[in-house]
Amino acid sequence: MHPQSIGQVWDQVTGVQTAPSTAILWTTAAIALLAVAPRFTWHYTRNVVTIAHEGGHGLAAVLTRRRLHGVRLHSDTSGLTVSSGKPHGPGMVLTAAAGYSAPPLLGLAGAWLISGGHVTALLWGVVLLLAALLVMIRNAYGALTVVLTGGICFAVSWFGSVQLQGAFAYVSVWFLLLAGVRPVVELQHKRRHGGAPDSDADQLGRLTRTPALLWVVLFLVISLACLATGARWLLTR
């Protein structure tokens, strides 16, 4: 690539994009809601949440110096992150707690970047995170899901117009903020009916000798707080 082109790309990534119109802002929020609320669409879009969920486990494992062995993503939207280290202690607790916290926190980080007009930087940041996750994927479906998601983000950031990039970024951030709530509600619904005995909340309950419901409530508080704060940043930009 010509040096001048590299400079142009860098300027685009670090540049500030103008805020969209109010109509675009509410339209993107509505699209994200339609991707989360109906059961039919959620069956497919939940894969994105699983990527963020398992990526959160993996990142927490690395940051707490646990040995990350691999990540698997399944077609039923479940996932598995395998790491080794002490079976107890702060590292294990943080790793277990990072799954349900990751999607809303990523949405909050995205809202913060968008509030500063850094739309392209957000898209490229997502591509880099997905590339890092791809290295640790250990099954074909998981690799395909991550590659497709990263490919879409890259295509929009590289070939898309400023307007398309902005709309795509807003939909993505709204989606993560809204989608952070539903898995927590689904988790408690399963637990209430005797399902998911080895869920993250139940593992955390055993690790910390506290009620698993306490962790479900904590996940819900985090997701709702991120939604409220992120929505305020997006709507008041």
Q: What is the pLDDT of residues 155-169, one digit of tens each?
A: 999 999 989 999 999
Q: Are 80 and 68 in contact (CB under 8 A)?
A: no
Count Cβ atoms below 10 Å from residue 157 Cβ, excluding itself: 24
Residue 7 confidence (pLDDT): 62
> Is 14 within the bounds of a domain?
no
Domain holding 75, by residue range, is: 19-235
> Is 179 within the bounds of a domain?
yes
Task: Give every CB contact of residue 182 below 8 A, 6+ residues apart in sequence.
Answer: 36, 42
> Is 48 within the bounds of a domain?
yes
> Is 2 within the bounds of a domain?
no
Residue 18 confidence (pLDDT): 80
Residue 4 confidence (pLDDT): 46
Structural domain count of the chain: 1
> Is 199 within the bounds of a domain?
yes
> Is 117 within the bounds of a domain?
yes
Residue 190 confidence (pLDDT): 93
| Exposed / middle / buried, residue 27 (Cβ in 10 Å: 0-12, 13-18, 19+) | middle
> Is 108 within the bounds of a domain?
yes
Q: Are 54 and 99 in contact (CB under 8 A)?
A: yes
pLDDT in tens, 80-126: 999 999 999 999 999 999 999 999 999 999 999 999 999 999 999 99
- pLDDT mean for each 10 residues of the chain (237 residues): 55 71 93 97 97 98 96 96 93 97 98 94 96 97 97 94 93 98 96 89 96 97 98 90
> Is 1 within the bounds of a domain?
no
Residue 14 confidence (pLDDT): 63
Residue 12 confidence (pLDDT): 63
CA distance 205 to 190: 16
